[in-house]
Amino acid sequence: MNTQILTTPQGESYPIATGSGFLPEIGKMAAEQIKPCRVMIVTDSNVAPLYLDTVRKSFADAGFSVFTHPVPAGEESKSVAVLGELLEAFAEAKMTRTDFAAALGGGVIGDLTGFAAGCYLRGIRFAQIPTTLLAAVDASVGGKTAVNLAHGKNLAGLFHQPIGVYCDTDTLKTLHPHELEDGYAEAIKHGILDDPALFEIFEHGDPAGNIEEIIVRSVIYKSRIVMEDPNEKGVRKMLNLGHTPAHAIERLSDFEISHGHAVSMGIAMMTRAAARRNMLKIDEASRIINTLKRNNLPTECPYPAKEMAEIAAVDKKAAASDITVILPEKIGKCVMQKMPVAALESLFADGLEALS
Ligand code: NAD
Ligand code: GLY
């Protein structure tokens, strides 16, 4: 098992454990961080039949009083309505400030549970038990929590760090290939931002045969960024590579296009835009696009630049009339560029043009 420790400047510190076969031990591992108490395990309707019994038993065996709250699978559960039901479930279970929640599932469950834990009684503790690759490489680490509003993705949320992240890679074996690819998109993002060797696993190697290395390399990079800037005042913005168009794409598709696939389209757009603006060499841009394609990820976006730019204008990354976007300079290095929101349409238009 690989364990990384993430410590924020505020002194919050937690283990991120990645390895095979420890799901039945998760209660015991959590008990090293938190005295046995009430735990509400939040999960979704796909994950519950696969892993809830094992996790419930593991917490019970470690001395916790276990409650469970399954929600429907899918992005629709990242809503104010489902959040409200979860908060009521905490109250119904008479959870107090010394109790805690466990998010068993993908990024949807992690974001929802973390947000509920962050605001119930002004904050109770929670753990992440990621069961998708996307959650393992990205969403479970760093304490970003949110639900969506009708006006946009992740518009209500807070920073709330977990007490631990426990990823049993055996759970990833039941993922549909589409969901594995979602995780590939975020890991390729980490490769483009900082880690050429990680990128090369996707460019020439065998990602499915190197899942643990992909998670660990991603966690090491993301933890380093979160430790420096937990509340996204500066360098953490880099992790949003491709996300400004991606959030607009998700919304325009009514969430039919999954987050990871939208991120892939967004990365491809920012890559082509950077090449067109002479910030990135054409051959590096081609490597990025071809690597996304090699991993079955989409690189063409079905929406016009204007529609995407209108939605991105209310994206939470927009500050007043400016927005920060991330553009690749080479594989392993990207730059932040602050630009007027009004300039987004032309950036997106460049991102939709073929490489030439
Ligand atoms: P998800 O949670 O919807 O999971 C994808 C699908 O896989 C669901 O149908 C789920 O039921 C199913 N599933 C989960 N684990 C499974 C398993 N082991 N076997 C079989 N099926 C399984 O989606 P996701 O891709 O994990 O996460 C996407 C969400 O994460 C988006 O809402 C995105 O905004 C958010 N996100 C958050 C952060 C962050 O830093 N907080 C980072 C990236 C993405
Ligand atoms: N997924 C981007 C972040 O955690 O900052």
| Domain boundaries defined on the chain | 2-174, 177-352
Tens-digit pLDDT profile for residues 93-111:
999 999 999 999 999 999 9
Quick one: average pLDDT of 139-159?
A: 95
The pLDDT value recorded for residue 189 is 98
Q: Name the CATH topology of 2-174.
A: Rossmann fold (3.40.50)
Taking the model in full, what pTM does it have?
0.97
pLDDT the model gives residue 161: 98
- Cα dihedral value 35, 40, 46, 49, nearest 10: 70
**Which of 190, 247, 276, 287 is labelled catalytic?**
247
Indicate whether 319 pLDDT > 60: no
The fraction of the chain above a pLDDT of 90, given in percent, is 94
Active site residue 259: yes
Percentage of the residues of the chain whose pLDDT score is greater than 70: 98
CATH superfamily of 177-352: Dehydroquinate synthase-like - alpha domain (1.20.1090.10)
Tell me: pLDDT of 318 over 60.
Answer: no
CA–CA gap between residue 147 and residue 194 (Å, rounded): 28
The pLDDT-based confidence of 320 (bands split at 50, 70, 90) is low
Q: Tell me what pLDDT residue 315 has.
A: 67
Phi, psi dihedral angles at 211 (to 5 degrees): -60, -45
Distance 315 CA to ligand 1 centre (A): 20
Residue 195 Cβ contacting ligand 1 at under 6 Å: no
Q: How far apart are CA 104 and CA 47, in angstroms?
A: 8
Q: 2-174 with 177-352: one CATH topology? A: no
CA of 77 from ligand 1 middle (Å) equals 11
Q: What are phi and psi of 122, to 5 degrees?
A: 60, 25
CB 331 within 8 A of CB 196: yes
In whole angstroms, what is the distance from residue 284 CA to residue 290 CA? 10
The number of the ligand 2 atom at minimal distance from the alpha carbon of 139 is 1
Band (128; pLDDT cuts 50, 70, 90)? very high
